[in-house]
Structure 1
Amino acid sequence: MLQIIQCETDKDKAHIKDLLFEYFSWINLMWSQEFNMGFDINSSLEECLAQLDEFMPPDGRLLLARYKGKIVGCVGLRSIDQGIGEVKRLYVQPKFRAKGIGRELLENIIYEAANIGYSKLRLDTAPFTKAAQALYHSLGFQDIAPYFEKIEVPPEYRNNWIFMELRL
């Protein structure tokens, strides 16, 4: 019923593009509601797609969730420092949430990170992502101070942003 696969083909990358467009659209809506600001969705999508190589083996992973034959979620892993990986873009389409798909994606990316040889995993998440924060904490992630490698979060929001780390 649920299958987690590594993004490899052009068809997989097309699914990633669709999922990331949904992700950035949702984030933009939430930023508008929470912070009264927005960003260019298409520019953010193109920037993210230009960085896909960072999420490919040997040092990265880009996983897709296939549920009942349909691609419904994704998560990425990339190297940000010696022995440290970063989890990015965990996203499950809204109508497929609360089915354990996000947990399965995250558990798989943790397993992959350990196999690569990372000693730590880091991530950042917006303050309004309460369900995601609960998931991260349930799998052992701990809150940490903002990490230096994190340049994607605008400085004016870093104090309100959530940064986490998991020791592997």
Structure 2
Amino acid sequence: MEATAVKLYSLEYKDAKTYLVTLLFVTGNIVFPQLCHLANLGPVLLPIYFFTLIAAYKYGWKAGVLTALLSPVANSLLFGMPLAAALPAIMSKSLLLAGFAGFAAYYFKKVSVLILLGVVLFSQIVGTLIEWAMVKDFFLAVQDFRLGLPGMAFQILGGFLMIKLILKK
């Protein structure tokens, strides 16, 4: 899966398209986690991050940040998951993912599995350190690495395919 040039955007907060794109990706980040939780795969697939990665990589860090902030809050308000106590850690990781994905897309101007691997791993490592500082419990902070490696792999491979094949425009 070689690096591929794709059409990438850098949407601005003043553009209506930014909010339409964000709404679509937040909806994905609401529906996908619910499907994963129904199949008892929520903690394994880390579904709350999937569409944040795609939004930030394809449409820029601003669309990614909006998706990263709104998705966990909407899920928590609508379904009680994630728990309110977990929101700061999840939103931190989600914001890091949006920032790193937006930067990587801007810098490399192409998508590859290796680039997405770096984005996901870097955001998870830094996010885990932040979560550890917040909760003061290393075992809890590394939960995404203990349980979520399949989810990270899904973000990388699924994100690559979504960005490359489905979102060619």
TM-score after normalising by structure 1: 0.34
Using the size of structure 2 for normalisation, the TM-score is 0.34
Which structure is richer in relative contact order (CA contacts within 8 A, separation 6 or more)? 2
Question: Larger strand proportion, structure 1 or 2?
Answer: 1
| More helix as a share of residues | 2
